[in-house]
Amino acid sequence: MPTEAQEGIKQKAYAEAMRYMENAKETLRKARKEDGRYQDVKYVRTACGTAYNGVLIALDTYLLLKGVEQKKGRKSVAYYTANFSKLDKKLLSDVNDVYTILHLSGYYDGIHDARIVNDGFELAYQIIGKIKPLSGNSHLEAAPPHRPAQPIFSGALFIPSLMLWVAGFLRLVANAFAAVKSQQAGVSVARRG
């Protein structure tokens, strides 16, 4: 693909992804932050979902520019992890972290901890920055991070991040256990009948 065509794709996708991030930031402001915790989970969920969708625009564009065949319809996180495991291990790690923070913890669980949500937003901006065009769109510069960038699983954030991961894992185990129990209950009822 010619460089001009790539730049045109980047400009359009970057502008759209940044529009999502601006909408997400605006929504997050409505969640009211007190003592480092968001007070209204409805807005946290909406903001995290919107930011994650902005990241998906960037990821799809990145894969398109790398020549990866585009999958039709809805893509699972497995689609992204499979492709990024071949292309960029660092970006794969960021994709996994943003999926955990913004999609699972933010959108599904409605996490209240502002530090973790902000880390998710910072990662989102980093990922979107991967498709930033070389020229134009200077008015769409990525927002400065809320604090100096630091790895997600380091320092003071290690314990909350680990707790999120463990909570997600335990939720998966509990769901699997419940499914097995209900399946066993159905088999025992069928044997009695």
Q: Report pLDDT for 144.
A: 47
- C-beta of residue 73 within 8 angstroms of C-beta of residue 79: no
Q: Report pLDDT for 145.
A: 46
The residues spanned by each domain of the chain are 3-151, 153-193
Q: What are phi and psi of 88, to 5 degrees?
A: -155, 100
Q: Report pLDDT for 175.
A: 73
Task: Tell me, yes or no, if the pTM score tops 0.75.
Answer: no
Q: Which CATH architecture has domain 3-151?
A: Up-down Bundle (1.20)
- Please tell me the distance from the alpha carbon of residue 67 to that of residue 152, in angstroms, as a whole number: 30
> What are the pLDDT digits (tens) for 38-60?
999 999 999 999 999 999 999 99
What residues of the chain score a pLDDT lower than 70? 135-169, 172-173, 182, 185-193
- Euclidean distance between the first and final Cα of the chain, in Å? 65
Q: Report pLDDT for 180.
A: 72
Q: Report pLDDT for 136.
A: 56
- C-beta of residue 65 within 8 angstroms of C-beta of residue 131: yes
Q: Report pLDDT for 189.
A: 46
Q: Indicate the length of the chain as a whole number.
A: 193
